Structure 1
Amino acid sequence: MIPSDDEQAIVASPPRGSLRDRHGPSSPTRSRSITETVNGSHKFVIEGYSLAKGMGVGKHIASDSFTVGGYQWAIYFYPDGKNPEDNSTYVSVFIALASEGTDVRALFELTLVDQSGKGKHKVHSHFDRALESGPYTLKYRGSMWGYKRFFRRTALETSDFLKDDCLKINCTVGVVVNTMDTYRPHSIQVPESDIGSHFGALLENQEGADVVFNVRGERFHAHKLVMAARSTVFRNKFFEEASGTEEEIVIEEMDPKVFKAMLHFIYKDELVDEDVLAASSSETSIFDTLAAKLLAASDKYHLDRLRLLCEAYLCKGINVNSVSTTLALADQYHAMELKAVCLRFAAENLSAVIRSDGFEYLKEHCPSLQSELLKTVAGCEEECSSGGKSQSVWAQMSDGGDTTGRRVRPRI
């Protein structure tokens, strides 16, 4: 059922931090594929080279196995060569996959060490150059990579690579591995802040209290540091004015229940229970409600968060009958958010608002707000002075007549 003009009420949007967004947006995950080599080296010393010659083509001397990238490897040295077609003209050197594996991709480096100290090693390496087809792939156990014609035998036996009938071969293997670096946000549930309960306990047990407020005869014990931290007005009073050393402060212009509710906010950073606020809502005038008096206190003591909390509470009670007096209240205590809501609501429901009792209060006590309401209806100040519909609206707001002075029934 659609409510009548007199029954319309504002519907506030869900407050920040409501169930809809309490947990916030889910954090994005991300992943990264990393392809790199796991490198390892092995030094193989072959003593008694002259004795190894003649063992036969295709026969080898094997190093001890060594592990790189999770696989076993070995160096094979063929004194008489691996290929029968070379007729023992060359020595052959290979690196073999010595453990089970399938399609193992790797880079290799073989170095025949110059034993003269000149550093002129014979190096075959894939690490310092790009390979057209990428790293080599060893299909299965026993697969090898190397050189059938690694070095001519006659040249080797007269070179600095052979010393004291000994050869030294260094081998480096780089096994290609792929890893997935995945980031998944982890969350730890953190309870809501409980600082308010701790400070609230401080207020209730009065431990360390160093100032007393005498509010119309009712005494409230408090802490100067807490009051000063929350309000610049109290900070100036306690620490900058000459009277800041007094231990009892008399306040006559505020009801004790309002001061108690203000202390509740100062220490706990929240409004008193809504039941307490609602109990005063039956007052004849909105100005007499606890929420309105707290709004006044927030303005007096520069408690900006308390002001917004009061505005949010009062906003929920806006309707055709209350919007005018709520607008006056908001204007008096600089509640700009509440004032903007009231102006917008009154402009959207102007015909019904003009007929309300509250609008008579607005005309009598806050004539300047009628101009602001008119600007909200018209959209801009220039439109208000251009006649037309804006002029007829102004006539209705001022005396219920049209621009010719005739009494008419308000129509928007």
Structure 2
Amino acid sequence: MTNGATSPVTAATLKVEHSPLLSPTSSQSVTETVNGFHRFVIQGYSLAKGMGIGKHIVSDNFTVGGYRWAIYFYPDGKNPEDSSTYVSVFIALASEGTDVRALFELTLMDQSGKGKHKVHSHFDRSLESGPYTLKYRGSMWGYKRFFRRALLETSDYLKDDCLIINCTVGVVVSAIDCSRLHSIQVPVSDIGAHFGMLLENMEGSDITFDVAGEKFRSHKLVLAARSPVFRTEIFDGVDEQKKEMVITDLEPRVFKALLHFIYRDTLSEDAESVESSSASLSSVSETLIAKLLAAADRYCLERLKLMCESRLCKNISVNSVAKILALADEYHATELKAVCLRFAAENLAAVMRSDGFEYLKDNCPLLQSELLKTIAGCEEDYSSGGKSRSVWAQLSDGTDTNGRRVRQRT
């Protein structure tokens, strides 16, 4: 290439693009023991004694962790050096296997009932030495000097010429935790959506409700399953084949919200909206959620009742608490009633100067005694180190629980 000539190869900029990070993965290896238990009863110990060094009595084979095992009892000892002093007990691998890792426990049972068993356990020492490895069929783990023979023959371990040896084997296995590697996500229940479709398209409907002239088609079985009151009215009446019922004590919008809950197990959008706590006294009882509370009580729908209580609870204020308390008492809304009583007791001075309290005095005199009991409970809280100002102190100087001056009504 001569000077000044241009190369046919054009320059290019190498651009390295980083692929988006994949979701992190994880796995978990779980190593544990598969445990099994075998009881070996040796009857006629005195006759077995003297059979010879290295001679043994063997139990039936038993299976733990996919391997067969057996207990070997040597009444005269396994080795010559131990024959005159000790009995020997071993556990043997009785099936084909290579490098089988396991933990063992041998227990000579106290037959006096005192529970003073003689325990030789590898489980207690697994952290120090790890599991024992048996390399082939016939490999053994145990004790050449399991128990001194002279002591054994005069002990509570030997009764009616009988010994009982309990054996526990724990075979070590390792595996990858499949529940993490192959988890299956279960979606949230959509049964409400499915039943809601029945409400929308009315397929298979078999009863019609007339509510102030507005018609609502429904399904008897759905209503009966959800409400014991509907079940009684539909199936326990004189005419079980009735196709239409007239509802006289509910407004159409309330009955519509009631059906929405029965089919979908949720509040309707209209019922979800909670009016401001500054609403007038009369408007509290006229809200859809308040009327739905009454309907829930009427048809024994306890879950719907709690939903309504939860919504009304958000609307509690000095001006509304008395009216909401009256509603809660009338419709057996115990959770809401307790909250109202507590709120009224803690803000007594302000509540007593509200229009709602006048309504309470005129229409619900029995609630006053319950309020007094709640006040007494608040007094106990104050005396034990709660808020700094007593509810009775509020009445004397016209302030609330936070020490703020409450404007007198004229």
Unaligned runs of 5+ in 2: 1-27, 36-64, 70-95, 101-131, 146-169, 381-389, 402-410
- Alpha-carbon offset, residue 271 of structure 1: 0.6
TM-score normalized by structure 1? 0.52
Distance 1:37 1:246 in 2: 66
2:247 is equivalent to residue 251 of structure 1: yes
2:237 is equivalent to residue 241 of structure 1: yes
TM-score normalized by structure 2? 0.53
2:355 is equivalent to residue 357 of structure 1: yes
2:289 is equivalent to residue 260 of structure 1: no
Q: Which residue of structure 2 lines up, in the alignment, with residue 375 of structure 1? A: 373
Does the CA contact (< 8 Å) of 2:322 and 2:357 recur in 1?
Answer: yes
SS in 2 for 1:242: coil
Two-structure CA RMSD over aligned residues (Å): 4.1
1:298 to 275, 296, 299: 296
Q: Which has the higher contact order (CA 8 A, sep 6+)?
A: 1
- Alpha-carbon offset, residue 244 of structure 1: 3.2
Q: Percent identity?
A: 53
2:250 is equivalent to residue 221 of structure 1: no
Q: Which residue of structure 2 lines up, in the alignment, with residue 106 of structure 1? A: 135
Distance 1:39 1:208 in 2: 62
- Within 5 Å, give how 1:5-404 maps onto structure 2: 31-33=31-33, 69=98, 106=135, 109=138, 127=140, 130=142, 178-180=172-174, 185-186=179-180, 187-273=183-269, 277-278=273-274, 284-379=282-377
Distance 1:308 1:104 in 2: 62
Q: 1:275 to 1:37 in 2, by over 3 A?
A: closer
- Alpha-carbon offset, residue 379 of structure 1: 2.4
Q: Which residue of structure 2 lines up, in the alignment, with residue 84 of structure 1? A: none
- Alpha-carbon offset, residue 189 of structure 1: 1.7
Distance 1:68 1:223 in 2: 66
Q: 1:395 to 1:217 in 2, by over 3 A?
A: farther
Unaligned runs of 5+ in 1: 1-27, 41-66, 72-102, 110-125, 134-175, 383-391, 403-407
Q: Aligned pair count?
A: 252
Does the CA contact (< 8 Å) of 2:29 and 2:175 recur in 1?
Answer: no
Distance 1:315 1:181 in 2: 52
Distance 1:39 1:236 in 2: 64
- Alpha-carbon offset, residue 320 of structure 1: 1.6
SS in 2 for 1:295: helix
- Write out per-residue CA displacement over residues 341-365 of structure 1, whole angstroms, 9 at most, x where no aligned residue: 1111111221221122211111111
Distance 1:191 1:37 in 2: 38
Does the CA contact (< 8 Å) of 1:320 and 1:352 recur in 2?
Answer: yes
Q: 1:215 to 1:411 in 2, by over 3 A?
A: closer
- Which amino acid letter does the alignment assign opposite residue 294 of structure 2? A
Does the CA contact (< 8 Å) of 2:234 and 2:240 recur in 1?
Answer: yes
